[in-house]
Amino acid sequence: RVKQDGRNAYLFYDDSMLTDTQRALDLDGRLRQAISNNIIEIHYQPIFDLETNQIVAAEALMRWNDDKLGFISPEEFIPLAEKNGLIHKLGEIAITQACHQAARWQSIMPIKISINFSSVQFRYCEKLLAQIQQGLESSGLPANRLDIEVTESLLFNHTQDVITLLNNLRKQGVELTIDDFGTGYSALSYLQKFPFDKLKIDRSFLIDIDQNEPNRELVGAIIAMAKALNIHVVAEGVETRWHTDFLLEKECDYGQGYYFSKPLPADLFEQLLSKARVPQSVA
């Protein structure tokens, strides 16, 4: 098809572009519905201490299983929600649900809960702080059980408000993690300039690492550098025994991935936690 624009030039577009636009429109409407019908869920993926094999944390991952459209990946709806502004509402849902679940789980095991925040949510730092405060207060979850995951893009183009907020959270005891480390503008200065406790090595580095010598070197170097700066390291996308052995050898602190467990709905995660619970020694 051909479309004429105002300057007498022709712009070509094909059906796939039309379909993309239609899909975005459909998703937009359905996402609003999903939010007001309360069908957005949070699933939980355990994070393990590689040395002790204990669950130390859970990452909260958003799930949208639409009545009409079926399962929609967060890789698709999060970027959309960042554009249409729904991300702020989704953020509130994640904080509320995850803090309440984590607070309940403390009596089974004192795990941390990691919640993802996109850079767009930091455009309104005051609102974001209020949401986090509200999540902690209403659930009773101690601040030092909460871990906030942000990506490097937040740091690349940050405002003073962002620095103030991160410092404020850190002072309250909230942990800060750089997610997807190595995929953005990984300036090493970020690690010193901002009060991060942890970095997560992106899954893409592990995928073919058993056959990829440069990636092995890179992962080893990231872990060594983090150690030198007193920053803990989580590897995401741990899928094989080979991965865990390699990471242990490089003294990576934590691992998360299908080798251990996929993200689970709250009730199944709770079962996993109960089974993994270390029996208290009788004094």
Token pair for 210: 């058993």
Per-residue contact flags (x/-) with ligand C2E for residues 117 to 156, judged by CB under 6 A: xx------------------------------x-------
Residue from 148, 180, 219, 252 in contact with Mg ion (CB under 5 A): 180
- Residue 258 interacts with ligand C2E (CB under 6 A)? yes
The binder of 147, among Mg ion, ligand C2E, none, by C-beta within 5 to 8 A per type, is none
State the residue for tokens 């939980």.
Answer: 44
Q: Which is nearer to ligand C2E, 103 or 179 (CB)?
A: 179
Q: Which is nearer to ligand C2E, 21 or 73 (CB)?
A: 73
The amino acid that residue 54 corresponds to is Q
Identify which range of 128-136, 160-168, 219-227, 252-260 contacts ligand C2E by CB under 6 A: 252-260
Min. distance of Cβ 26 from ligand C2E in angstroms?
20
- Residue 239 interacts with ligand C2E (CB under 6 A)? yes
Helices (H), the chain: 15-36, 74-84, 87-105, 125-139, 152-156, 160-172, 188-193, 213-228, 241-249, 266-276
Q: Which is nearer to ligand C2E, 203 or 216 (CB)?
A: 203
Helices (H), 48-139: 74-84, 87-105, 125-139
State the Cα–Cα distance between residues 261 and 238, nearest whole angstrom.
10
In this structure, what are the phi and psi dihedrals at residue 17, rounded to the nearest 5 degrees?
-70, -40
State the Cα–Cα distance between residues 107 and 119, nearest whole angstrom.
33
Q: Identify the CA nearest to 222 among candidates 203, 244, 190, 199.
A: 199
- Residue 257 interacts with ligand C2E (CB under 6 A)? yes
The binder of 154, among ligand C2E, Mg ion, none, by C-beta within 5 to 8 A per type, is none
| Other CB atoms within 10 Å distance of the CB of residue 270 | 16
- Residue 263 interacts with ligand C2E (CB under 6 A)? yes
Token pair for 45: 């993926």
Give exposure, 88-98, as e/b (b: 16+ Cβ within 10 Å): bebbbebbbbb
The binder of 237, among Mg ion, ligand C2E, none, by C-beta within 5 to 8 A per type, is ligand C2E
Per-residue contact flags (x/-) with ligand C2E for residues 44 to 63, judged by CB under 6 A: -x---------------xx-
Q: Identify the CA nearest to 135 among candidates 109, 112, 171, 102.
A: 102
- Residue 121 interacts with Mg ion (CB under 5 A)? no
User: What residues from 22 to 81 belong to the interface with Mg ion (CB under 5 A)?
Assistant: none
The binder of 94, among Mg ion, ligand C2E, none, by C-beta within 5 to 8 A per type, is ligand C2E
Contacts with ligand C2E by CB under 6 A lie at: 45, 61-62, 73-75, 78, 94, 116-118, 149, 179-180, 203, 236-239, 256-258, 263
